[in-house]
A = this chain, B = another copy of it.
Amino acid sequence: MPEPQGDTEAPGRPPRRGERRPTMTDVAERAGVSRALVSLVFRDAPGASRTTRERVFQVADEIGYRPDSAARMLASSRSKVLGVMLTVRNPFHADMVESIYPVAEQRGYEILLSAASPTRDERKAVDALLGHRCEGLLLLGPTLPTSYIAELGAKLPVVSLGRRFPGVDVDAVHTAEAKGVRQAIAHLVELGHRSIAHIDGGRGPGSAERRKAYREAMRKHGLADYIRVLPGDQTEESGSATAKVLLAEGSAMPTAVLAGNDRCALGLLDVVWRAGLQVPGDLSVVGYDDSHLAHLSHIDLSTVRQDPNRHAELAVQCVVDRLDGVRDGAEEFVLEPKLVTRGTTGPPGRSGKMSA
């Protein structure tokens, strides 16, 4: 029976659930000023006295007025909204989203989240954002084809986090993958490891660079013979699957593994622990991302830190600067990674449980 609306007559009719949401006009009337003045106050624009300002805010609060962003963006043709496309399961994305909110807010932008998932591809997620008039897009680890990214980039400021799109007019923020890998390998070598394997990240962001850097770093340390890239992707599944493969090798297995990312490292660790091996005694493990997972005290994963905060900050700044017309050409922000050594790395010292 309570149908939404449609009958616009009868100004004083008792509205049902949720009474007509108060508008600027309501505030203006109640405060005894013009609608324009209220608008002024809410936009924090100059031209209103202190007292009036306060009264307007007070009245607004009383009647529960809240500016309508739809009308606002229609009228201003600026939405002040940035769209964020993410994969809802990815913990590193979660970290970044958390950081994006405050940074955007400080710059005066709102955030709209749109999730990609197996049943909802990235294109769809982006489409939703565009429909909501986002002025700029932050794409977290996009796997969209370059041509599509280029098309997007032609329409509005776009920044890709974690993946580069060379030759396309789109900004990118990512870490110097090679450096992180070099640090990780150097650390392991210093601890005395020689047989260091790498679980590949597949088509995931940064994987190609990491793979390449791994090979180079190994060669640089004179360990070319130990180079071993295990196929995988950036999921727990691939980590655990690889773990099983390695465990089957018994004493021939590597003494250290550099995983494609933290999730992968996690999957590997679980299986290894479960098999009764000691970490790092029997196997040292290094992750990549330093996502929330790695911090967890029971995991205590050595990993390559990619500062999600800094990523977020740069990405937002990137887009906002472009919107303000500060910058124009595509730019690439390369962040310094940092190896964080925690409890999953140590000298190779077999504990004798190898065939457990």
Is A226 positioned at the interface, with any CB of B under 8 Å from its CB? Answer: no
* CB–CB A94/B98 < 8 A: no
- List chain A positions with a Cβ less than 8 A from chain B: 1-5, 14-18, 66-71, 73-74, 77-79, 88-89, 91, 94, 97-98, 101-102, 110-115, 117-120, 127-128, 130-133, 151, 154-157, 236-237, 239-241, 243, 267, 269-271, 273-274, 276, 278-279, 292, 296-299, 323-325, 328
**Neighbour of A74 across the interface among B70, B324, B328, CB < 8 A:** B70
* CB–CB B296/A66 < 8 A: no
Q: Complex formed: what's the CA distance from A332 to B244 in Å?
A: 45
Contacts of A71 in B (CB 8 A): 70, 74
Is the contact region of chain A dominated by helix, strand, or loop, or is it mixed?
mixed
Contacts of A4 in B (CB 8 A): 77-78, 323, 325
Contacts of A98 in B (CB 8 A): 88, 115, 117-120
* CB–CB B325/A3 < 8 A: yes
> In the complex where A5-B77, A98-B88, A120-B101 touch, is A270 in contact with B273 (Cβ < 8 A)?
yes
**Neighbour of A110 across the interface among B79, B128, B156, CB < 8 A:** B128
Smallest CB gap from A6: residue in B: B77
CB distance from A12 to the nearest CB of B (A): 14
> In the complex where A18-B156, A273-B274 touch, is A236 in contact with B296 (Cβ < 8 A)?
yes
5 shortest interchain CB distances as A-B pairs:
A240-B298, A273-B273, A113-B113, A88-B94, A18-B155
Q: Complex formed: what's the CA distance from A115 to B96 in Å?
A: 12
* CB–CB A296/B70 < 8 A: no
